Structure 1
Amino acid sequence: MTLKNRISLLVSLLFTVLFGLASAFIFILYSNFRKQEFNDRLEIKALSTIKLLANVKDIDYKIMKLIDKNSINELYDEKTLIFDADFNLIYSSIDDAKIKWSVTDLRFLKNHKTFFKKQGDREFYGVFFDTRAKDYYVLITANDSYGKRKLVYLEYILIISYVLFTALCWILTSFTVKKIMQPLSSFHQKIKNINENNLDTRVEVKSNKNEIDLIANEFNFMMDRIEVSYEKQKEFTANASHELRTPLSRIISQIENKIDSDTIDSGSKSFLNTILTDVNHLTELIHSLLILSKLDTKRYENKEPNRLDEILFTAIEKLNKTFPDFVILFDIEENENLDAALEIRGNKKLLEIALSNILKNACVYSDNKQAKVTISCKEKNLIINVSNTGKTLDEKEQKNLFQPFMRGKNANGTSGFGLGLRIVQRILTLHKATITYSVPNKNTNLFQLIFHF
């Protein structure tokens, strides 16, 4: 999981939990408040009834019922029972009231003065009133339907609010974190695209007030040092290769003159030819290293349009001069986009080197001195397939095929240094193209060059 998604998830979960706890806390507080408020109402009702009994002598219970009937709130459905000191019922606000009570409740009242309990949907409040003349026990029961409706309404509001605002929080958190982390995403994309060909890439720094910009600033300093070191390394390789070519050219010239001389015997000529072959191989190696050291320099950034088929024909002609017995079978698939696809912007000289190396590789490792070249166009890609028959590479060798100085088991008995395919890959990378190797059939090597247009 990415850091961006992890932050979004943690913030959203934190809000979800906190909002859920807050909603539950509000619901519990209001539920207790309703209960206490209803309890106070029943207590006031009980005390007012007892005071009426205690303060009015010879009160008429019919009048009391009339008073209760006019004062009872239908929303609460109140019922009142009054008992004397012997636990005898002396007053009931409604004659047909069915209220469950027991002597145990009244004895509990005498010891504890008050109690509050719930039976089903109804709630009971009891109070013991001790006067000088008489003792009274009052039981009041009611159904707080109005308060319960408000409690249910609050519950619905909290649930809907919880679902709505939680979903909104997840969306807004994801959007906000994505926007905040956008500089880090751009930073990551820049780093991802950096290779040996664009070490001059730098990350834009808008300010030094946040951690991302501070990291980007330090990254730019690091890239400055890496670029300087890399340029010095390339410069040394190029200078060393260039300086070595001059004495090697002189050695080759002197050996060739000596071989052409009539003053040495055949044994010495054979010995000198062996030395000449080794020196030529050394010269070729130095030339390859020189090409690798200069591939990503600015002077090769030529974006002139070139016909890739013309470059391929030129490479084939040069190869035929070196390997006159080698046969190349050429095929171009018909496609309406082919002409536009063959127009490649890039460096003509480098593209010729890349195609020459691929064709030379097909020639050297072919078992019948033949190779097949196919040009096709698929979607937005120009594809050049170069295949030959011969020994193929195993999976382990294929993974390291484009590494410097890599030579497979099929290279036994052939000359080379393992730099040709590396050069091809570097040149194609400069032109934003790719190369792949596969074994489509038994004893068949296939190189596929893909150019995007």
Structure 2
Amino acid sequence: MTIRNRLTFLFTAIVSGLLILFGLVLYIVAERLRESEYRQRLRAEATTSAELLFGRQAITPQLYRLLDKNQMTVLTQEEIIIYNYRNQIVYESGTDYLTVSKEQLDQIRLEGEVYWRVGDREIVGVLFTNHADRLVILASAVDKYGFSKQWDLAMLLVSGWFLATIIVFLAGRFFAGRALKPIRRVIASVDTITASQLSTRLTEGPDNDELSQLAQRFNQMLDRLEDAFRLQRTFVSNASHELRTPLTAITGQLEVALMAGDTEADLRIMVQSVLNDVRDLNRLTNGLLSLANVSLDESVVAMVPVALDELVWQTRSDLLRVRSDAVVVVEIGTTLPTSWRVNGNEALLRTALFNLSENGVKFSPNHRVSIKLMVEADSIVLTFHNQGTAIPPAELADIFKPFRRGSNGQHIAGHGIGLSLTQRIIQLHYGRLSVQSDDTQGTIFTLSLPQS
């Protein structure tokens, strides 16, 4: 069932139930008023009969019976019965609609007035006392016109309820459809969005209601998806290009070696060249795998307290073991040992520090990088400084993108993966990575991580 139908039926059921309750209350109140009014009329008939027959100026029963038959205001199927103190009938209007027991007569004498119903007939019994006797007068009749009005009222209420229910159903369906019209527009817009048309966006309404907020959130999600697809396409394209270069070089060298009759020395030189290309390909593949891994959701990365000062010294040792010509100068500020702790993944942080350190060594003419560790406010700040050729200002914004390299590194081996991988690792740790570069001070990478 659609939301429109569900809302329509729910709205109709609530209003219909309220109308039924209102109609029942109205009918019951009208019935009580009719009963009370008719009871007063019966009491008046009984009292009048007693006064005329047994009052101070009494008339004969024959005359009263004649007057009663020709009275214009006589009630439908009216019957008057009068009993004396011995429960003997001293007057009866001539009809025989009613039978009264001795217990009912005693109850009337005890309470003074009693009202009850037998089917449609309503009876009022009153006690009348004169100088000679204690009489019980019973007046009964059928409220034909009252019941007719009640029936007409019931039919009117049922017809009104039925008509109002139809109107409420139609109105509810109209307003529900009008209220859900923006959702139908959203559905129609979503149906047009495909993997090749991620640039399509939902129309955001002028009002800041829930539907407008939903459209805004959906558009924000589409922005993230479009960025992810664009990065994926760029990654695949660049990775394919980068992998093709060493593979082509290896294939070409092997084909040339097979066709040429080289000496053992020449073959050794060729094998060494192929080995270098294979190592380069291995580094590229590892970099691509690492970049793909850190692009996953940060919830799958295990975070524990890590001593950043110890990690800096370990990174220095790793770099010196790989590059014997490297000069790594570490300067650590004076503070409590616990102040260097951050909440993070040790392996990923070690990779990030190694990439920044190795980058400084590669681009520095004297292969020297200076690492400074200090505390600022609630963050730990590391700077990696080298005196290499400055990065052009126009290229600073792109060096953290995958496979992007500055023009100052065209003659230095690399694939443009390390900095993008490092930035992604720092983002996973809720940190910041920035760069400053000019011909005077060289290049400084500044890394900031929140303290544990």
**TM-score normalized by structure 1?**
0.53
Where does residue 18 of structure 2 map in the other structure?
A: 18
CA distance in 2, matches of 1:226, 1:99: 89
SS at match of 1:22: helix
SS at match of 2:206: coil
CA distance in 1, matches of 2:75, 2:107: 29
CA distance in 1, matches of 2:68, 2:176: 64
Deviation at 1:180, TM superposition (A): 0.9
Where does residue 33 of structure 1 map in the other structure?
A: 33
SS at match of 1:142: strand
Deviation at 1:163, TM superposition (A): 3.1
Where does residue 238 of structure 2 map in the other structure?
A: 239
Deviation at 1:221, TM superposition (A): 2.4
Contact 1:46/1:140 (<8 A) preserved: yes
SS at match of 2:137: strand
Are the structure 2 counterparts of residues 212 and 98 from structure 1 closer, same or farther at C-alpha, using a change threshold of 3 Å? closer
CA distance in 1, matches of 2:38, 2:235: 93
Are the structure 2 counterparts of residues 50 and 72 from structure 1 closer, same or farther at C-alpha, using a change threshold of 3 Å? farther
Where does residue 105 of structure 2 map in the other structure?
A: 106
CA distance in 2, matches of 1:197, 1:79: 93
Deviation at 1:228, TM superposition (A): 2.6
Where does residue 218 of structure 2 map in the other structure?
A: 219
Where does residue 122 of structure 1 map in the other structure?
A: 121
Contact 1:34/1:147 (<8 A) preserved: yes
Where does residue 140 of structure 1 map in the other structure?
A: 139
Residues 294-313 of structure 1: pairs in structure 2 closer than 5 A: none
Contact 1:110/1:128 (<8 A) preserved: yes
In the alignment, residue 209 of structure 1 is paired with which amino acid?
Answer: N
CA distance in 2, matches of 1:26, 1:38: 18
CA distance in 1, matches of 2:95, 2:52: 23
Are the structure 2 counterparts of residues 141 and 86 from structure 1 closer, same or farther at C-alpha, using a change threshold of 3 Å? same
Contact 2:127/2:136 (<8 A) preserved: yes
Residues 275-424 of structure 1: pairs in structure 2 closer than 5 A: none
Deviation at 1:74, TM superposition (A): 5.8
Deviation at 1:203, TM superposition (A): 1.3
CA distance in 2, matches of 1:82, 1:245: 123
CA distance in 2, matches of 1:96, 1:44: 19
Where does residue 399 of structure 2 map in the other structure?
A: none
CA distance in 1, matches of 2:9, 2:232: 46
| 1:81-102 per-position Cα deviation (integer Å, ceiling 9, x unaligned) | 2223333322223x24443223
Contact 1:46/1:139 (<8 A) preserved: yes
Contact 2:79/2:95 (<8 A) preserved: no
CA distance in 1, matches of 2:88, 2:242: 127
Greater shift in the superposed pair: 84-93 or 36-45: 84-93
CA distance in 1, matches of 2:35, 2:263: 123
CA distance in 2, matches of 1:137, 1:264: 147
Where does residue 51 of structure 1 map in the other structure?
A: 51
RMSD over aligned Cα atoms: 3.3
CA distance in 2, matches of 1:2, 1:252: 63
Are the structure 2 counterparts of residues 90 and 191 from structure 1 closer, same or farther at C-alpha, using a change threshold of 3 Å? same
Deviation at 1:112, TM superposition (A): 1.0
Residues 417-436 of structure 1: pairs in structure 2 closer than 5 A: none
Asked if 1:8 corresponds to 2:13, the answer is: no
Deviation at 1:213, TM superposition (A): 1.0
SS at match of 1:59: coil
CA distance in 2, matches of 1:209, 1:71: 76
In the alignment, residue 227 of structure 2 is paired with which amino acid?
Answer: V
Contact 1:75/1:146 (<8 A) preserved: no
Are the structure 2 counterparts of residues 263 and 139 from structure 1 closer, same or farther at C-alpha, using a change threshold of 3 Å? same
Are the structure 2 counterparts of residues 225 and 58 from structure 1 closer, same or farther at C-alpha, using a change threshold of 3 Å? closer
In the alignment, residue 123 of structure 1 is paired with which amino acid?
Answer: E
In the alignment, residue 224 of structure 1 is paired with which amino acid?
Answer: D
In the alignment, residue 57 of structure 1 is paired with which amino acid?
Answer: Q
CA distance in 1, matches of 2:164, 2:89: 55
In the alignment, residue 116 of structure 2 is paired with which amino acid?
Answer: K
| 1:118-143 per-position Cα deviation (integer Å, ceiling 9, x unaligned) | 12331111111223443221111101
Contact 2:53/2:61 (<8 A) preserved: no
CA distance in 2, matches of 1:115, 1:8: 51
Where does residue 168 of structure 2 map in the other structure?
A: 169
Where does residue 63 of structure 1 map in the other structure?
A: 63
In the alignment, residue 61 of structure 2 is paired with which amino acid?
Answer: Y
Where does residue 155 of structure 1 map in the other structure?
A: 154
Are the structure 2 counterparts of residues 98 and 5 from structure 1 closer, same or farther at C-alpha, using a change threshold of 3 Å? closer
CA distance in 2, matches of 1:152, 1:10: 30
Residues 67-106 of structure 1: pairs in structure 2 closer than 5 A: 67-71=67-71, 73=73, 76-93=76-93, 95-106=94-105
SS at match of 1:128: strand
CA distance in 2, matches of 1:60, 1:74: 19
Where does residue 182 of structure 1 map in the other structure?
A: 181
Aligned length: 272
Identity %: 28
Contact 2:46/2:139 (<8 A) preserved: yes
* CA radius of gyration, larger in: 2
CA distance in 1, matches of 2:15, 2:232: 54
In the alignment, residue 38 of structure 2 is paired with which amino acid?
Answer: F
**TM-score normalized by structure 2?**
0.53
Contact 1:208/1:214 (<8 A) preserved: no
Greater shift in the superposed pair: 195-204 or 184-193: 184-193
Which segments of 5 or more consecutive residues in structure 1 lack a partner in the other structure? 287-453
CA distance in 1, matches of 2:46, 2:203: 79
Are the structure 2 counterparts of residues 262 and 218 from structure 1 closer, same or farther at C-alpha, using a change threshold of 3 Å? same
Deviation at 1:183, TM superposition (A): 1.2
| 1:170-214 per-position Cα deviation (integer Å, ceiling 9, x unaligned) | 343233212211212322343455342222221111223321112
Contact 1:72/1:78 (<8 A) preserved: no
Deviation at 1:115, TM superposition (A): 1.1
In the alignment, residue 112 of structure 2 is paired with which amino acid?
Answer: K
Greater shift in the superposed pair: 240-249 or 25-34: 240-249
Deviation at 1:72, TM superposition (A): 5.3
